[in-house]
Structure 1
Amino acid sequence: MENRSNSKISEPRFERQEVHVTDKEYNDVPPEFENVKYGQNAHQEVMPVDSDGEKQKLRPSLNMHGLPDKLHVSKWLVIRQSELLAAEYDWWPFRILLLFCAFICGYGYGLDSNIRFIYTSYVTNSFSEHSLLSTVNVINAVISAASQIVYARLADVFGRLTLFITAVVFYSMGTVIQSQSYNIETYAAGSIFYNLGYVGVVLVLLLILSDFSSLKWRLFYQFAPTWPFIINTWISGNITSRANPQENWSWDIGMWAFIFPLSCVPLICCMLHMWWKARRTEEWKILNEEKTYFKTHGLVSFIKELFWKLDTIGTFIMTVSLGCILVPLTLAGGTSSKWDDSQIIGPLVLGVVLLPMLIVYELKWAREPILPWKLIKDRAVWASMSISFLYDFIFYMAYDYLYTVMIVAVDESVKSATRISSLSAFVSTVFSPFFALYITRVTRLKPYIIAGCGLWMVAMGLLYHFRGGKSSHSGIIGGLCVWGVGTTMFTYPVNVSVQSATSHENMATVTSLNYTLYRIGSAVGIAVSGCIWTQNLYHEIFKRVKDAKIASYAYEQPYNFIAEYTWGTPIRQQVVEAYMHVQKLETLVGLVFCAPLLLFSLCLRDPELTDEIAHNDLGEGEYIARDKDYIFDWIEDKCRKFVPGLHPKGRHPSFASQEAQEETRSIEEGQVPDDSSDVVMESGESNFKKLQGEFHSRRVSSHEQNI
């Protein structure tokens, strides 16, 4: 049999075999080794065949949690179909066409999100609820975090294109609701549907580009949808100033209900063209004859399995818990404290109580937990998840109210403030193609991720120092430029780093975990930022102006306030001092959390980027590949001199106690531990095999036993 570790992306040969299968389950092994379906009658089964004609062995299927995975066939088919689609676009002009279509799509949602963030502040201002800007953003982030999990798991069942079109529909639906809102509650409701669509578009587009790129070129492909920021940074200011959002925000938002879907048409046509080409191949025809769980068991059984596959109960509890904890933090402050209000205390207590319930449910009853332990226990995954969380948390601590600070406390125009607030994205985008091409040559990411986190700490220091007054104009620009360079070097590279350490089958899972923590980080960051803002700003303004009416006016309607109290007037300067004080608190929190961000970057693995889509040489029970990590090994070697109890120098595993326990169990079972293994093995392998054997013995029919 051909060695898989040396195999490239190829199209396997298929044979048909008539087999009677009765509710048979198959093991969660690499997808190129098996294809099964679930049926009550005899049907055709597609089996991969080696180059020498030998049929590969099928095994009973359990997911990584040791439970039956009845939707494994659907997931396998989607992954194989995506590989066949990628094979049809293996010619470089087609790849350029795909990147151009992704660029157009990114141009649509990038420009919209860039200016909608600005428009939201005018919406809250028009409702005299500007301080609720963080509340709306928290709701957006919580919904986004929950939908990441759902989209990633659905994408492996229904396919990328179906989920992409569904996300576009949600996007347009939410945009229409937001544009026609008449109060802050209606606008927040529209934000839920808008974010369901926005998150789905971004995640599915990322998965599509990942399916079509090798690890070496993965970063270049994932950067493609961000390149429109080079244009958007400069035209967004012109759009917001000409659109007059203070008066026309409804139309300014509503027009994107048809502009964005139009920008998605080229990508959809591109995907349909791939499908049209692939459907004529023999492999595709054989895959289409495969009967999935839906075809053999019907709609009701399929929905039931999908309910457990999505971990619907766990995701719902997580969403409600996060919302009940974070939203009250943004509502409790303002012109008067509301911490003694039952409407604030009640949801907060409910959210805290739901957290342990979520943990218990995920550990005891969830069939597909939100956090798959066998993946997240490795530092390649938990370190990248931690960085994703801190990235957005720190970002919103400094950025959430930056536009308002520049308008009120730096005296920037609408055009200038819009451009400056987009400057970090502009610098990041300009730098990204050169950095991505450079990475294709060095094929390592970890040193640059560490450097990027260090640059973020420098940028936060600059934003802490320059936070108000006309003299801060250049300082803010400089800080955002440094911020943009650092963003290029670690945000997307973190995703590529964790993708390069796992298999194609788990690629969507680890990507969604990163983006889920990314969205949770934004929710927490916005909530903490909003809490600091609402708890301090009004009191700081009142402390200086000594007039409750003026203080309320400046706090609730800052854009109307600056039109009446121009720059240089005494009251305006007092308000500027209040804004500077609160922004100092915001950026200080972000600066402090840059230290753990840098620490987690040191804990990442450093897999080599190859010409494969993902790791193809992971065996049974192996989820994360581990290459030589010079940086972590050097740190570990230095720490060994000061920390007693670390494992001997000759051993590479980072968690010695865990590895020792696994080796002890293997020895007790009569297995010889392989010290030369370059992968992290799953713990509790003996229990997994016992459960697998028991399940298989109960399921195998007499006909199969005879076979």
Structure 2
Amino acid sequence: MAVTEISTPPATATSPARADDNIEKHAAADNVDADFSDDGKLDDGAERKQAGVRQVEAITTVWSKQMLVVMFILLYIVSFCDSLLQGVQGNLSPYVTSEFSQHGLLATTGIVASILGGVSSLAIAKIIDIWGRVEGFLAMLLLMVVGIVMKAACQNVQTYAAAHTLYWVGHLGLIYVISIILADTTTLKNRAIIYGLNYTPTIATNFAGPRIADLFYTNVNFRWAFGAFCIILVAFCAPVAVIFILSKRKAVKQGIYPVKTESRTVWESCKYYFVQFDGMSHTLENLQLAIFSNEETLTNNHILVVGMFLTVVGWSLLLLPFNLVYTAPKGWETGYIIAMIVLGVLCLAAFFVWEKYFATVAYLPFRFLKDRTIIGACLLYGIMFLSIFCWDTYYGSYLQVVHGLDITISGYVLNSFSLTSAFFMPLTGLLIRWDGRYKVVSYTGIPFCVLGTALLIHFRTPSSSVGYLVMCQMFNGISSGVWVTTGQLAVQASVSHQELAVATAIFSMFGSIGAAIGMAIAGSLWTNTLPTQLYNRLPADAKDLAAEIYGSIIVQQSYPLGSPVRDAIIAAYADVQRKMVIAGAAFIPLLVICIMVWRNVNVKKLEAINGNQVKGTVW
């Protein structure tokens, strides 16, 4: 059996003179610094683009402005559906784990999912650069559907954890692919506005999600909630795929779509894609030589799998023990707890050794991380989520148990964070379009982050009004909306179109790992502190119920407010939650440093001098 090969126009090397000329252009656009990570290279014919990048440029070229608007609307609808599903499943998660008397494992179920979701974004970047945007979009949809179906049918917490991992990888991947498609169709000065607008569905879903979750839980069950959204999600994603497929046919007819001309065997095709996954810097001649010359290609191109495996296993083994230690027979002295931590450290060390000494082409392109703007933006994103998830992981349970709120109202309080972010992200985009300097805009998020987190230390007590908690959520939402927008733009403005997907994936990976570390800290405080606090504070006749109470939010809520047992539960919650907020606040000074190292790039001047970053029909 033979398949065809995508033809690629011959690549030409960029001369030193051309590179120096481009650096001078960057310097004109940025009066602070000009040492860009891509050495000032423009995204033009001098740079070999992979098939997926050339395909999307061909597809967007045949789009009219009207079709571009239609695609924006369809992607907006998909984002709306995904955001609504997030709102529903996020409010049902405590009840799913409590169904199996494992409420304390709420953080644990999210750690592996967050790590795998973030690390896999690099693999997804390779997929959409090689095979195409719509192929990656459909692959992520399939993962989400499988995960949702497993959630609906799960009979134990282990199955639910596996289902959530699949779902979360698909969810993060879908949002990531959408962000790349939006980047493919916008200029740098307008991109932040589109990103902000595409996040505004959360304004509606923040109110609808908790209410829908409450209705499903009260009138049906959590399983039907997942089942219903499985159907809805597929229905809303289908039109996006249809438009891409039809546009591809139109581009082929016009002769601008990368056509497949040369045939090769399946074995040769496998070799080809191994090389494609590993290298974006090979020239076409070297690529063809690697494919057809000898068998050493395979041995040089396992880094995608090896690097991803070592990263996921390393972070998972390192972080999970902090959540599992309470259930271990001898606590920290338990053999498997010690083994997990040691193996986690060894895997991460092995990853760096492999990348430095054995990998032909790195799974994690460290050359990007040598750019101070990119590493600063990535660390800002990661540390921001680390700080937030220290105190946010069990926040919904706190609101329902301590303040007696139902699923709907507690969801409204939680979602005031993302509601405020959704409102301020488009405003941030407008500021960048007006001024052009995303670094200056980023500084506006600092005072809101400090207020939002530091005030929680004072107000996160049983005696505080819920209104103060909402105020803190809104302050944090403002800083998050500003930093998500400016951080992503800082990364994308530092690279070419060919590098855009991988650079954005690195940005996403830092956020996911930061969230996983935050959840590990929260889970560690929860599992190591709450059981002891519960036992010490419960009345003497209820101390034997400590384990049962700890394991289920449903049991915790079964005791009426004002009863001795409920008062003991509330006091234990308050003690643990205060420590979580203090832990999160400790990371805030690092966020200021992350912004300070950025270049003060003006994206309006940058594209005015160098031309648009992406080709095709763009806004």
Query: What is the TM-score when the length of structure 2 is the normalising length?
Result: 0.84
What amino acid is aligned across from residue 438 of structure 1 in structure 2? L
What's the secondary structure of 1:468's corresponding residue? coil
What's the secondary structure of 1:357's corresponding residue? helix
The structure where helix makes up a greater share of residues is 2
Q: RMSD value over aligned CA atoms?
A: 2.8
Please point out which of 480, 491, 504 is paired with 1:487. 480
Equivalences for 1:572-587 in 2 at 5 Å? 572-587=566-581
What's the secondary structure of 1:502's corresponding residue? coil
Equivalences for 1:613-624 in 2 at 5 Å? none
- What CA distance in whole angstroms lies between the structure 2 residues aligned with 1:611 and 1:427? 30
Kindly indicate whether structure 1 or structure 2 has the higher relative contact order, using CA contacts under 8 Å at least 6 residues apart.
2
Contact 2:488-2:507 within 8 A present in 1 as well = yes
- Aligned residue pairs total 554
What's the secondary structure of 1:506's corresponding residue? helix
Displacement of 1:86: 2.4
- What CA distance in whole angstroms lies between the structure 2 residues aligned with 1:398 and 1:579? 12
Please name the residue that 1:654 is paired with. Answer: none
Alpha-carbon displacement from aligned partner over 1:481-519 (angstroms, at most 9, x marks no partner): 111111111112201111112211211121011101111
Please name the residue that 1:97 is paired with. Answer: 70
Displacement of 1:434: 3.0
Alpha-carbon displacement from aligned partner over 1:41-75 (angstroms, at most 9, x marks no partner): xxxxxxxxxxxxxxxxxxxxxxx9xxxxxxx9994
Please point out which of 167, 180, 183 is paired with 1:207. 180
Equivalences for 1:446-457 in 2 at 5 Å? 446-457=439-450
Equivalences for 1:323-334 in 2 at 5 Å? 323-333=316-326
Whether 2:76 is the aligned partner of 1:76: answer no
Whether 2:501 is the aligned partner of 1:508: answer yes
Displacement of 1:295: 7.5
Please point out which of 165, 171, 179 is paired with 2:144. 171
What's the secondary structure of 2:603's corresponding residue? coil
- What CA distance in whole angstroms lies between the structure 2 residues aligned with 1:310 and 1:440? 40
Alpha-carbon displacement from aligned partner over 1:412-471 (angstroms, at most 9, x marks no partner): 122100111111111111232233223211111112212213311211012222213253
Please point out which of 425, 438, 442 is paired with 1:445. 438
Equivalences for 1:194-343 in 2 at 5 Å? 194-244=167-217, 248-284=221-257, 287-289=258-260, 291=262, 298-305=268-275, 306=277, 308=301, 311-333=304-326, 338-343=331-336
Contact 1:325-1:347 within 8 A present in 2 as well = yes
- What CA distance in whole angstroms lies between the structure 2 residues aligned with 1:273 and 1:610? 33
- What CA distance in whole angstroms lies between the structure 1 residues aligned with 2:168 and 2:11? 36
Q: Return closer, same or farther for 1:536/1:335 CA change in 2, 3 Å cut-off.
A: farther
- What CA distance in whole angstroms lies between the structure 2 residues aligned with 1:81 and 1:386? 32
- What CA distance in whole angstroms lies between the structure 2 residues aligned with 1:345 and 1:614? 56
Displacement of 1:611: 8.3
Please point out which of 610, 618, 635 is paired with 2:604. 610
Contact 2:95-2:553 within 8 A present in 1 as well = no
Residue range with higher mean Cα deviation, 553-562 or 582-591: 553-562
- What CA distance in whole angstroms lies between the structure 2 residues aligned with 1:295 and 1:500? 40
Q: Return closer, same or farther for 1:172/1:613 CA change in 2, 3 Å cut-off.
A: farther
Displacement of 1:270: 3.0
Please name the residue that 1:557 is paired with. Answer: 552
Please name the residue that 1:670 is paired with. Answer: none
- What CA distance in whole angstroms lies between the structure 1 residues aligned with 2:204 and 2:417? 13
Q: Return closer, same or farther for 1:312/1:254 CA change in 2, 3 Å cut-off.
A: same
What amino acid is aligned across from residue 299 of structure 1 in structure 2? S
Q: Return closer, same or farther for 1:274/1:582 CA change in 2, 3 Å cut-off.
A: same
Query: What is the TM-score when the length of structure 1 is the normalising length?
Result: 0.74
Contact 1:384-1:514 within 8 A present in 2 as well = yes
Contact 2:321-2:337 within 8 A present in 1 as well = yes
Alpha-carbon displacement from aligned partner over 1:314-369 (angstroms, at most 9, x marks no partner): 11111111111111111112597622222322222211122221111010111231
Whether 2:366 is the aligned partner of 1:373: answer yes
Q: Return closer, same or farther for 1:613/1:247 CA change in 2, 3 Å cut-off.
A: farther
What amino acid is aligned across from residue 151 of structure 1 in structure 2? I
What amino acid is aligned across from residue 62 of structure 2 in structure 1? E
- What CA distance in whole angstroms lies between the structure 1 residues aligned with 2:524 and 2:609? 44
What amino acid is aligned across from residue 558 of structure 1 in structure 2? I
Runs (5+) with no aligned partner, structure 2: 1-7, 19-37, 39-45, 279-300, 613-619
Whether 2:559 is the aligned partner of 1:588: answer no
Contact 1:460-1:591 within 8 A present in 2 as well = yes
Runs (5+) with no aligned partner, structure 1: 1-22, 34-63, 65-71, 619-707
Whether 2:123 is the aligned partner of 1:118: answer no
Q: Return closer, same or farther for 1:591/1:259 CA change in 2, 3 Å cut-off.
A: same
What's the secondary structure of 2:109's corresponding residue? helix
Contact 1:309-1:368 within 8 A present in 2 as well = no
Contact 1:468-1:579 within 8 A present in 2 as well = no
